[in-house]
Amino acid sequence: MAMFHGTRDFPQPLPSEITPRAVYENRRALLRGLATGAAGATLAAWAGRTALAQAQRPGKLAPLAAVPSRVSGAMVLDKPTRYQDATSYNNFYEFGTDKDDPARNAHTLRISPWSVEVEGLVHKPGRFGVEDLLKLSTLEERVYRLRCVEGWSMVIPWVGYSLAALIARVQPLGSAKYVEFVTLADKATMPFVGARILDWPYLEGLRLDEALHPLTLLAFGMYGEVLPKQNGAPVRLVVPWKYGFKSAKSIVKIRFTEREPATAWVKAAPQEYGFYANVNPDVDHPRWSQATERRIGEGGLFAPKRKTLPFNGYAEQVAQLYAGMDLRRFF
């Protein structure tokens, strides 16, 4: 695991950790970024940012090069969670309900070949292989906070691009108001699909304007590598201002609809989990407070808790999506 120096809020990789391989891939990603017109930052700033993820690259899975994101709010300065923690403390109920179950059980997931069907209210429906999805837009690195409804949080350098790029490709009809995400439910490879925990497949949904928000990420990797299976390989959603459960893993279908999708958690316990699920310290879960959170990796149970921020700290970017809405009612 990489060591960091620098200020607490702005970790810098040690120079010794920037390997020749990382330098080579930086250059390759830069050329790719230049070719698509995405590299606007100065070379120095760019190299420093990407080095952050490169230095942490655990060397366990295939590398996935990316340019640093320039989307506003996409690069939080919090220290990233250790890869070991981010890949061993997971929610992925298809593989069990204990936090260490997914890391133990998800090896049975078959991620190749994989495709995502896009259907419903769009002009250009179709089936996209992961290889094609990877080429659809420039891969960016984005360091996001993710907060679980259970009261813990992590900071993860993701690799992906705005879901908006895929939405632009399929061209929603004027009648499309929502986007539903259907994830894999395969009893043969997912031991808890069929168990009476949730109504499978695990379904999530966003309003179309939320799905189009530049922060909404279609993620293929983390820490400079492809996604580990327990984190939702080969493709997942990351919606950083919402509770973690909105970030559907191992997506197989994206459907554009007129009506609000019936999501798995709303179906399971509508009084506890709402469709919007915006992180909100002022609206408690019926069984516990949402005012504070525990950052995974920060000193165990005795570490002081952090204050949970409205919209998980992304209010400046997303609050206007909910102007005029009663967020107690639409929780």
Ligand X SMILES: Nc1nc2c(c(=O)[nH]1)N[C@H]1C(S)=C(S)[C@@H](COP(=O)(O)O)O[C@H]1N2
In the complex, the residues that contact ligand X under the rule CB under 6 A are 90-94, 146, 148, 154, 183, 202, 231, 244-245, 247-250
Cα–Cα distance measured from residue 307 to residue 278, given in angstroms and rounded to the nearest whole number: 15
Q: Any known ligand binding at 247? A: yes
Question: Euclidean distance between the first and final Cα of the chain, in Å?
Answer: 38
For ligand X, the closer CB: 36 or 292? 292
Q: Which of the listed partners (ligand X, Mo ion, none) does 90 bind, with a CB threshold of 5 to 8 Å by partner kind? A: ligand X
- The interface partner of residue 214, options being ligand X, Mo ion, none and the CB cut-off 5 to 8 Å by kind, is none
Tell me the helix, strand and coil percentages in the chain, rounded to 5.
Answer: 30, 25, 45
CB nearer to ligand X: pick between 10 and 288: 288
Q: In the bound complex, what is the minimum distance in angstroms from residue 242's beta carbon to Mo ion?
A: 10
Q: Is 293 annotated to bind ligand?
A: no
Give the three-class secondary structure for 52. helix
CB of 89 to ligand X, least distance (A): 7
| CB hemisphere CA count around 277 (13 angstroms) | 28
Choose among ligand X, Mo ion, none what residue 94 binds, the Cβ cut-off being 5 to 8 Å by kind.
Answer: ligand X
Which amino acid is residue 184, in one-letter code?
L
Two structure tokens written together for 228: 């580990």
Q: Is residue 112 annotated as involved in ligand binding? A: no
Task: Please give the structure tokens belonging to residue 290.
Answer: 């949402």
Residue 148, marked binder:
yes
- Residue closer to ligand X by CB (options 138, 247) is 247
Nearer to ligand X, 41 or 195 (CB): 195
What's the farthest any 2 CA atoms get from each other in the chain?
54
Q: SS3 for 98?
A: coil
Q: Tell which one of 74, 103, 139, 148 touches Mo ion (CB under 5 A).
A: 148
* Interface pick for Mo ion out of 244, 261, 274, 313 (rule CB under 5 A): 244
Q: Which option in ligand X, Mo ion, none does residue 312 bind, with CB closer than 5 to 8 A by kind?
A: none
248 assigned ligand-binding residue: yes
Is 103 annotated for ligand binding?
no
Q: State which of positions 75-104 bind Mo ion (CB under 5 A).
A: 91
Residue nearer to ligand X on the CB measure, 30 or 296:
296
* Partners of residue 159 on adjacent β-strands: 141, 221
Strands 115-120 and 251-257, bridge-based pairing: parallel
Q: Which residue is nearest to ligand X (CB)?
A: 244
Task: Please report how close the Cβ of residue 272 comes to ligand X at its closest, in angstroms.
Answer: 12
Question: Is 90 marked as binding a ligand?
Answer: yes
Within the chain, strands assigned E span 4-5, 12-13, 67-68, 115-120, 126-129, 140-147, 152-162, 178-183, 203-207, 217-222, 225-226, 236-238, 251-257, 292-295, 306-307
Instruction: Supply 121's token pair.
Output: 């209210």
CA atoms within 13 A on the CB side of 210: 27
Q: Sign of torsion, CA 243 71 323 260?
A: negative
Q: Please tell me whether residue 310 adopts helix, strand or coil conformation.
A: helix
Nearer to Mo ion, 97 or 171 (CB): 97
Which of ligand X, Mo ion, none sits in contact with 183, Cβ below 5 to 8 A by type?
A: ligand X
> Which of Mo ion, ligand X, none does residue 210 bind (CB under 5 to 8 Å by kind)?
none
Q: Where are the beta strands (DSSP E) in 21-77?
A: 67-68
Helix (H, G, I), strand (E, B) or coil at 119: strand
Is 289 within any annotated ligand binding site? no
Binding residues vs Mo ion (CB under 5 A): 91, 148, 244-245
Residues at the binding site are 90, 93-94, 148, 183, 231, 236, 247-249
Residues at the binding site for Mo-molybdopterin are 90, 93-94, 148, 183, 231, 236, 247-249
